[in-house]
Amino acid sequence: MADAIVSFVLDQLTTTIVDKASEEVELLVDVEKEVTKLETNLRLIDTFLRDAEEKKRTDGLVKEWLDRLKEASYDMGDALDEWRTTVEIEALEAQNAASLKKALCNFISCFSIRRAYTHRKIALNIKEINQRLDDIVKKKEMYQLQLMSMPISNTINHLQQRPETSSLVDVSKLCGRDKEKADILNYLWGGSGENEAGELIPTISIVGMGGLGKTALAQLICNDDNVKKHFDRVIWVCVSDLFYEKKVARAIIQGLEKLTHGAAYGLESDPLQFLLERISRSIQGMKYFLVLDDVWDGNKGERWEGLKTTFKLGAPGSRILVTTRDVEVAKMMGSSSSQIISLEKLGDEQCWSIIKHLALEGRDNQNLEKIGREIAKKCKGLPLAAKTLGSHLKSKRIKQCFMYCALFHKDYEINRWVVIAQWMAMGYLGSDGNADLESKGNEYFHILVERSFFQDIEMFEGEIACCKMHDIVHDFARYLGENEFATKEINSDHSTIDGSKNRHLTVMIDEGIPFPTSISGAEKLRALRTFTGKDALTYEALGSLFNHCRRLRVLILGWPDGTDHFCKEIPEGIGKLIHLRLLYLRDGRKLESLPEALCNLLNLEFLDLLGCTNLKQLPDSIGKLINLRHLCTAGCSALTQYPEGLQKLTSLRYLSGLIARADRNNAKEFCLADLGNLKHLHELALKVVGNSIDMEQARKAQLQDIQWLSIFLAGSIQRADIIEALDPHRNIPNLGFYGNYWFSWGAVQLPDE
């Protein structure tokens, strides 16, 4: 864990020096020398961190030393962030003062005094942290750190192995299971006997302990091109835990009829008999291949009998494949001894092949091979352990992203872009504000999918929309992050939450329980996610939160679940969170206004107000949020205009719920012409108001580089006029129009030039 933090601070240090703050170094008392010394110390520490990370497992003193290093590194990251933020604030204040010529002299005097005081304070802070690092470096000698392999065997033993799965996971590289695959395919082609119409469908079972790759093998079979051609329909159902007939039946219908997740949800209230009859109609005469993954409930065979009868209606050649840990479950599901494929553990060499492929991309690396082979022995023949551990030899950044996912509770549906936004806010994707960090985050996300960290994947328009984490992988992420990431469940009235050992915290509070008045260790928190009942986040609770959680990068206070999470107003104290990058206030249906102090958060990159239906206006000073990349006001139905300063937010990539006038009748309102300043905008959901359009002004919008555009016409302006005025490029991947009512449709054929 410490290696990732030190790497992050080194990256931040380099960016801070090279970027805007570099020109201010000479203004800070002795800070140039201190920063140089800081970089030297961190790079020295970084060279032996791997040894220390491994030795801490058995040496309490080394663990204590690493904990001190983590504390100092976090503090240094905050100090560098404060330094850079101070420079940006001063630049903005100086720019504003230049336009106030009458008050300029007085301002310069006050500004210079305050500036000197602030710089002095930051310089002393950096110097104090450097002294702590000096002491840490000196004490490294007493620990005689040496290169050691990772003793992970105890970890493997205690992890709970309960996966949530999907057939969509990429398993093109599966090691050591060629024979088992061939045996299963032989059964599928008729090796277990061809059933006649009305007979029970032959059922093949893959049996083995958790982590042996039962699901991966089944996924490999499902994605085989010959299997897809041989069967009319391939259906994947993740059973897991108890075998509930209705749950399984709904999943089968979803697979048979290729229903969306939303459409399948509509089956919730249907009785079991109705669902079984619907399955019967769908599979009548169909040669299907049904996979029931992770079947546990061996004591409820009678629940399976009703479904068995329904499956008889499939065409001859239909097959069922079951994965389970229990051979008795396999027999209960109808597999004979000859139809049971028992998976054995892999050899050390096969585990090493998996690790080598993932960690080294197949390349030879003598420095890592010795460690890798030792790790392969610790995997105890479990392919999942080899895949998980092998991946962590490669990238510190991906390791950080992976560990952060321990902040989501088990079985939580992780939205791809929401988690990428949080990675960005934490700085895991780098700190270059001009880079396309969203694409880098998307790349990391797909790497984690490829390595089987994410499963139960749901697709939308050909892209991954959301996913879940395999339970064993979630436990491993929590293990790697030690106490850094935690979830606290509050089901009774507590005045305090114990977060003293945590840096990233999810708080889940039952309905009717107020948010605690304090969080111990709040001053160290870097990420806070809350899931609360109605009105739990009072004005007083928020005020206390803002006053104590000054180091937050991520703050999620609301979620679109139909609950009024918080009060009408947000306290001015939110302006104290100078490190904040991401703020979600979703579904705050009582929220009517945002404080001007919010606009002091110069580091803010993500502001999400989705579903704040009573929000009447945005702060007038919103133009100060110069680093804002994503702004969402979709569903803010009481919002009638955007302030004119929005065009100053030139870092915006994503803008949803924007309200723009088609004319220039009100200089204080945002209009179409102002879009021309937002050069980096990729996605835009726009509401155009007004009954006439100023074509000359609207052409200044310059949307030629936009990739996703949705337009709602609130007035009497015609669609053709908007297309002519805004002139998006003809090959725009996604374009939709809405007018006075909402509907969704495919790409629009734009007129030729």
pLDDT in tens, 318-376: 999 999 988 888 888 888 888 999 988 888 888 888 777 766 655 555 655 766 676 67
Q: What is the pLDDT of residue 543?
A: 92
75, 462, 615 from 81: Cα distances, Å: 10, 38, 31
Query: Which tops the pLDDT comparison, 210 or 27?
Result: 210
Answer whether 217's CB lies under 8 Å from 343's CB: yes
Most confident of 145-149, 244-248, 268-272, 427-431: 427-431
**pLDDT, the chain, mean:** 77
Our CA angle for 469, 475, 481, nearest 5°, is: 105
Give residue 434's pLDDT band: very low, low, confident or very high (50, 70, 90). Answer: low
Mean pLDDT of 551-569: 79
Q: Reply yes or no on whether the pLDDT at 750 is more than 50.
A: no
Give residue 112's pLDDT band: very low, low, confident or very high (50, 70, 90). Answer: low
Q: Reply yes or no on whether the pLDDT at 551 is more than 90.
A: yes
Q: What is the pLDDT of residue 102?
A: 47
What's the 3-state SS for 166-196?
A: CCCCCCCCCCCCHHHHHHHHHHHHHHCCCCC
For residue 615, what is the domain's CATH number? 3.80.10.10
Determine which of 228-237, 504-513, 561-570 has the lowest per-residue pLDDT on average. 561-570
Tell me the per-residue pLDDT of 135-194, one tens digit each, with 9 for 90 and over.
877 776 665 544 333 333 333 333 333 444 555 544 445 677 888 999 999 989 875 455
Tell me the per-residue pLDDT of 213-224, one tens digit each, with 9 for 90 and over.
888 899 889 888
Tell me the per-residue pLDDT of 589-617, one tens digit each, with 9 for 90 and over.
889 999 999 999 999 999 999 989 999 99
Q: What is the pLDDT of residue 80?
A: 80
Strands 340-342 and 319-324: unpaired
Q: What is the pLDDT of residue 606?
A: 98
Beta carbons within 10 angstroms of residue 583's beta carbon: 24
Q: What is the layout of strands, in order, in the sheet containing 485-490?
A: 485-490, 504-509, 527-531, 554-558, 582-585, 606-608, 630-632, 654-661, 683-689, 708-713, 734-739
Give residue 209's pLDDT band: very low, low, confident or very high (50, 70, 90). Answer: confident
Same domain, residue pair 256 and 329: yes
Beta carbons within 10 angstroms of residue 485's beta carbon: 22
Same domain, residue pair 329 and 251: yes
Same domain, residue pair 398 and 329: no
Query: Which tops the pLDDT comparison, 440 or 512?
Result: 440
Domain end residue (candidates: 342, 377, 395): 342
Mean pLDDT of 548-576: 84
Q: What is the pLDDT of residue 113?
A: 55
Same domain, residue pair 333 and 411: no
Determine which of 114-123, 332-341, 465-474, 654-663 has the lowest per-residue pLDDT on average. 114-123
Instruction: Answer yes or no: is 491 within a domain.
Output: no
Q: What is the pLDDT of residue 29?
A: 44
284, exposed or middle or buried, with CB in 10 Å at 0-12, 13-18, 19+?
exposed
Same domain, residue pair 336 and 353: no
Mean pLDDT of 458-465: 87
Beta carbons within 10 angstroms of residue 52's beta carbon: 21
What domain range is 351 assigned to? Answer: 153-158+347-475
Give residue 552's pLDDT band: very low, low, confident or very high (50, 70, 90). Answer: very high
- Give percent of the chain above pLDDT 70: 72
Query: Which tops the pLDDT comparison, 299 or 422?
Result: 422
Determine which of 28-32, 78-82, 90-94, 623-627 has the lowest per-residue pLDDT on average. 28-32
Q: Reply yes or no on whether the pLDDT at 675 is more than 80.
A: yes
Give residue 526's pLDDT band: very low, low, confident or very high (50, 70, 90). Answer: very high
Q: Tell me the whole-structure pTM to 2 decimals.
A: 0.67
Instruction: Label residues 431-466 b or e (16+ Cβ within 10 Å = b).
Output: beeeeebbebbbebbebbbbbbbbbbbbeeeeebeb
Instruction: Answer yes or no: is 745 within a domain.
Output: no
Mean pLDDT of 477-500: 81
Same domain, residue pair 12 and 132: yes
Give residue 464's pLDDT band: very low, low, confident or very high (50, 70, 90). Answer: very high
**Spatial distance between the Cα atoms of 313 and 679, rounded to a whole number of angstroms:** 59
Q: Reply yes or no on whether the pLDDT at 535 is more than 50.
A: yes
Most confident of 217-226, 342-351, 385-394, 697-706: 217-226
Determine which of 283-287, 296-300, 575-579, 616-620 has the lowest per-residue pLDDT on average. 296-300
Same domain, residue pair 571 and 459: no
Residues in Cβ contact with 257 at an 8 Å cutoff, skipping those fewer than 6 apart:
282
Mean pLDDT of 680-703: 85
Mean pLDDT of 33-38: 70
Same domain, residue pair 689 and 721: yes
Instruction: Answer yes or no: is 722 within a domain.
Output: yes
CA 400 from centre of chain = 12
Instruction: Answer yes or no: is 691 within a domain.
Output: yes
Same domain, residue pair 50 and 66: yes
Q: What is the pLDDT of residue 147?
A: 35
Q: Reply yes or no on whether the pLDDT at 630 is more than 80.
A: yes
Instruction: Answer yes or no: is 487 within a domain.
Output: no
Q: What is the pLDDT of residue 603?
A: 95
Instruction: Answer yes or no: is 166 within a domain.
Output: no
Mean pLDDT of 411-423: 94
Instruction: Answer yes or no: is 90 within a domain.
Output: yes
DSSP-assigned beta bridge partners for residue 454: 469
Q: What is the pLDDT of residue 362?
A: 52
Instruction: Answer yes or no: is 462 within a domain.
Output: yes
Residue 428, phi then psi, degrees to nearest 5: -70, -20
**Spatial distance between the Cα atoms of 226 and 471, rounded to a whole number of angstroms:** 31
Domain end residue (candidates: 342, 363, 378): 342
Determine which of 57-66, 392-401, 532-541 has the lowest per-residue pLDDT on average. 57-66
Residues in Cβ contact with 228 at an 8 Å cutoff, skipping those fewer than 6 apart:
234
Same domain, residue pair 322 and 362: no
For residue 189, what is the domain's CATH number? 3.40.50.300
Q: Reply yes or no on whether the pLDDT at 478 is more than 90.
A: no
Same domain, residue pair 52 and 197: no
Domain end residue (candidates: 315, 342, 369): 342
Tell me the per-residue pLDDT of 249-270, one tens digit each, with 9 for 90 and over.
888 888 887 765 555 556 767 8
Mean pLDDT of 393-401: 78
**Spatial distance between the Cα atoms of 219 and 213, rounded to a whole number of angstroms:** 10
Question: What's the domain count of the chain?
Answer: 4
Our CA angle for 12, 14, 20, nearest 5°, is: 90
Same domain, residue pair 628 and 654: yes
52, 232, 329, 332, 579 from 249: Cα distances, Å: 52, 19, 19, 18, 49
Least Cα distance to 627 among 432, 443, 420, 438 occurs for 432
